[in-house]
Amino acid sequence: NAGVTQTPKFQVLKTGQSMTLQCAQDMNHEYMSWYRQDPGMGLRLIHYSVGAGITDQGEVPNGYNVSRSTTEDFPLRLLSAAPSQTSVYFCASSGSSGNTIYFGEGSWLTVV
């Protein structure tokens, strides 16, 4: 089982560049979300989706866009990368609120 797959695993961007982090799950989960993990700050929710066509903002949405055109895919777009967006990004999915969450392996992003 593939579970939650996110790409790329590592990326270096220049300030001002844009990019998309891809996330796909094969468990037919309704809930998908993106987190960023920074030292001493735990996991912070960027955006989430409760189903295809539905997205909403989390704690730290500024500078990021998402879309959910299918149940399987939930890409995260950085519109104009800034050094403050240097972080580790995790995609996650679950069957519903309160169910076990499955995480991808992470994407390490450095903005220079």
Partner 1 sequence: AQSVAQPEDQVNVAEGNPLTVKCTYSVSGNPYLFWYVQYPNRGLQFLLKYITGDNLVKGSYGFEAEFNKSQTSFHLKKPSALVSDSALYFCAIVAGNNRKLIWGLGTSLAVNP
- Positions touching partner 1 (CB under 8 A) are 4, 40-43, 45, 90, 92, 97-98, 100-106
Choice between 29 and 104, CB closer to partner 1: 104
Cβ at position 107, least distance to partner 1 in Å? 10
Choice between 13 and 104, CB closer to partner 1: 104
Cβ at position 80, least distance to partner 1 in Å? 27
CB proximity list for 26: less than 8 A, separation 6 or greater: 1, 2, 3, 5, 72
Choice between 56 and 80, CB closer to partner 1: 56
Cβ at position 22, least distance to partner 1 in Å? 15
